[in-house]
Amino acid sequence: MDELHLVELPASEQSLLLEVGALRVRAWAARSPEIARKSVWLDEFDGVGRHFVVIAGRKLIAAARVSFHASLASAPDPQDFVDLAPLPSPIASFNRLVIDPDYQGRGLSVRLVEARRLAAEQAGCRCAVISIWPEERRMQRMERLGFVRVGLTRVYSSMTYGPAARFMVMTRSLIR
Ligand SMILES: CC(C)(COP(=O)(O)OP(=O)(O)OC[C@H]1O[C@@H](n2cnc3c(N)ncnc32)[C@H](O)[C@@H]1OP(=O)(O)O)[C@@H](O)C(=O)NCCC(=O)NCCS
């Protein structure tokens, strides 16, 4: 079994973003036919966000993004936060956590949350926000990492996430 290395994707190696985009498709394909049709899944925040990845040997097996924002309106998926009171800024938005199905169940999600939390604190962010599938086990894991449940998003019909998707918004204060 290859050793696992968690690193931040250097800005100079943006070509690796294509691999991140391909991993996102592999991790989501079973859940979203729309994503399954893509070869890579990238968006406009990938160029400005910071990416943390896990490498096994030469293979990219996990990835997650954090981006920094002055308000929730400029964060990814702003529709998730329309019912949320303003948060202290700068705000760190955690998105696009994916783990290769062969490597799930080893705690990599915890390591990727912690790497992003540290980066956000070092960048001077005052809070972190995430919206996740409301799976009890995953929400409890985030609570163990200091996040609190704020509430469910409105139901929205999306090609990407299904006809009646709702997410749990969770936030965490950060140390400055
Ligand atoms: C969401 C996703 C990243 C989570 O994967 P996961 O397997 O649940 O997460 P991990 O690989 O970190 O595994 C966590 C489990 O590893 C186990 N584990 C083993 N060693 C561990 C360690 N050292 N530390 C923590 N957990 C460990 C625990 O059982 C833990 O589960 P628990 O905290 O509920 O007890 C993955 O399912 C995925 O890529 N899904 C598709 C994309 C997606 O849905 N992204 C999120 C959108 S909201």
- Tens digits of residue pLDDT in 65-105: 999 999 999 999 999 999 999 999 999 999 999 999 899 99
> Is residue 109 very low, low, confident or very high in pLDDT (cuts 50, 70, 90)?
very high
Ligand 1 center–CA 50 separation, angstroms: 21
Identify which of 98, 114, 139, 152 to mutate to test ligand 1's pocket (most ligand atoms within 8 A of the CB): 98
CATH number where 90 lies: 3.40.630.30
User: Which residues, 6+ apart, have CB-to-CB distance to 44 below 8 Å?
Assistant: none
CA distances from 153 to 9, 96, 134, 158 (A): 31, 17, 10, 13
**Tokens found for residue 61:** 């097996």
Range of the domain at 135: 4-173
Q: Whose CA is nearest to atom 5 of ligand 1?
A: 104
- What is the number of structural domains in the chain? 1
